[in-house]
Amino acid sequence: MTDNATDTLDSARFTGPVFNPGDPGYAEEIAGFQTAYTHRPALVVGAVHAEDVRAAVEYAARHGLPVAVQATGHGLSVAADGGVLVTTGRMDTITIDPQARTARIGAGVRAGALIEAAARHGLAPLNGSSLSVGVTGYVLGGGLGLLAREFGYAADHVRSIDLVTADGRMRTLVPGDELFGAVLGTGGNFGVVTGLELGLVAVTELYGGQLMFDTDLVDEALDAWRQWTATVPETLTSSIAVLTFPDIPPVPQPLRGRHVASIRIAFDGPAEDGERLVAPLRALGDRLRDDLRTMPYTESHAIHSDPDFPHAYAATNALLDDLTPAALSALRAQTAPGGPVDAVIDVRHLGGALRRGDGIAVDHRDAEYVVRVITGAGEGDQAPAGLAAVREALVPWTIGHSLNFLYGAGAAADAAQTAAGYAPETYARLRALKSKYDPHTMFRLNRTIA
């Protein structure tokens, strides 16, 4: 593929813009949330309609080119070096059916826009922690939401999928179709999604926020949270982050340079019950921050306060069958201040409804916790060595890895890592379907099924 890829491309067939390297707008079109590395395609199709996607795939098939997809760049794994990139940000339509409690969305819709649209009807999607994440990429990776223990994975609530496959066909998939269960959990392995129909839930407010403990209470908070998670109902989903704030002016003064543990709570129930449930955590001692309250669902992103600006990051994770004191010690030995790995740790409590879904390619549902390890990343796409060391330390408790919570390329996106996202029998089934529907691995610029 060369820079003159559009030689045989009839750009008049596209409603949206088409870019070659060097064109005005090319750099802006390929830029995404992840800044450590980026797609460098020979051709970008800024899709507006499903027909644009179909024409881009058909063009790629004719020329034997790989196709990458980008909505926001939050989950960039394997970057295109040549080939075709379909950007979906312009496919941003949202239609809510309040009676059916569903949303029909275009492939480029972000979580924040869907939360706002659903809230106008007293409904909520099963979004994750950040407003800026793309709904389609999130759902295709499973989608571990704020209320995951109550409602399961977001992918468990998909009603239909509009997909353009490698043969250029537009298909609408529904539960029971061979590809339906394969697409949910495998990123972009089977084609380009142009739209989704999603189930919504009748949630308008949450009791939640953060309880943040200072350095001297970090180990106690970790152990208390670990024990406490065994006692809470499925309507409560929580996580604990352990991090050291940088000692720089944008960080508010009481937090600058502090090593803290922050417990994040999302409870679908009345404030009185929420207060009663968190009382054992508050009893640990003074908090640097305690903003637990009943909030409109539209403010639920405050629970995690994820960064919303593009930056360079890498992350790995381990799905654990248990978080024993020994597992916590192994984690702390690697990541406590002065230890070998400088990272943000985020442990999310799983179980509940996450155990019960079936029929889609989201596995390891017996996991009780996911430990995430997130670091900054330099230029280039190699994961920092420390990430592998933390995973190694957690091996005795690890039953698999979450594909949505891997950030970075290289080893984070290789064949062995991708296979570890699935049970062996699921992976075998996915491989057979991959050969059937994508025989020339057009969709390999992602966590490819070998």
Q: Which residues pair with 46 in a beta bridge?
A: 87
DSSP, res 201: B
How many residues make contact with ligand FAD (CB under 6 A)? 33
Q: Are 376 and 315 in contact (CB under 8 A)?
A: no
What is the Cα–Cα distance from 437 to 431, expressed in whole angstroms? Answer: 10
| Span 105-124, contacts to ligand FAD by CB under 6 A | 107
Q: Does 140 bind ligand FAD (CB under 6 A)?
A: yes
Q: Which of residues 81-110 bind ligand FAD (CB under 6 A)?
A: 88, 107
Q: How many CA atoms lie within 13 A of 260 on its CB side?
A: 20
Q: Tell me, residue by residue from 43 to 72, as one string, x for binding to ligand FAD by CB under 6 A and - for no binding.
A: --------------------------xxxx
Q: Are 225 and 263 in contact (CB under 8 A)?
A: yes
Q: Please report which helix (H) or strand (E) contains residue 52, including its range.
A: helix 50-63
Non-local CB neighbours of 272 within 8 Å, separated by 6+ positions: none
Nearer to ligand FAD, 192 or 224 (CB): 192
Which region, judged by CB under 6 A, interacts with ligand FAD, from 131-139, 262-270, 286-294, 423-431?
A: 131-139
Decide if residue 137 touches ligand FAD (CB under 6 A).
yes
Instruction: Decide: residue 231, CB within 10 A, 0-12 exposed, 13-18 middle, 19+ buried.
Output: exposed
Region near ligand FAD per CB under 6 A, out of 127-135, 285-293, 362-370, 415-423: 127-135
- Of 192 and 221, CB closest to ligand FAD: 192
130 binds ligand FAD (CB under 6 A): yes
185 binds ligand FAD (CB under 6 A): no
Among positions 238, 300, 417, 446, the unique one binding ligand FAD when judged by CB under 6 A: 446
Q: Residue 366 belongs to what H/E stretch? A: none
Which runs of E-coded beta strand occur in 245-301? Answer: 259-267, 289-290, 293-296
What's the distance, Cα to Cα, between the start and end of the chain in Å? 23
Residue selected from 16, 17, 73, 421 as contacting ligand FAD according to rule CB under 6 A: 73
Smallest separation, CB 280 to ligand FAD (Å):
25
Q: Which amino acid is at 441?
A: T
Q: Is 306 in the site for ligand FAD (CB under 6 A)?
A: yes
Query: Cβ of residue 135: shortest distance to ligand FAD, in angstroms?
Result: 8
- Please name every residue paired with 95 in a beta bridge, in sequence order, or none if there are none: 104
Q: Report whether 299 contacts 210 (CB < 8 A).
A: no
Nearest residue by C-beta to ligand FAD? 137
Stretch that binds ligand FAD, among 14-22, 132-140, 224-232, 349-357 (CB under 6 A): 132-140
DSSP result, 235-289: TEEEEEEEEE--SSTTS-GGGTT-EEEEEEEEE-S-HHHHHHHHHHHHTT---SE
Which CB sits closer to ligand FAD, 84 or 330? 84
Binding site for ligand FAD (CB under 6 A): 32-33, 69-77, 88, 107, 128-130, 133-134, 136-138, 140-144, 187-188, 192-193, 306, 404, 446
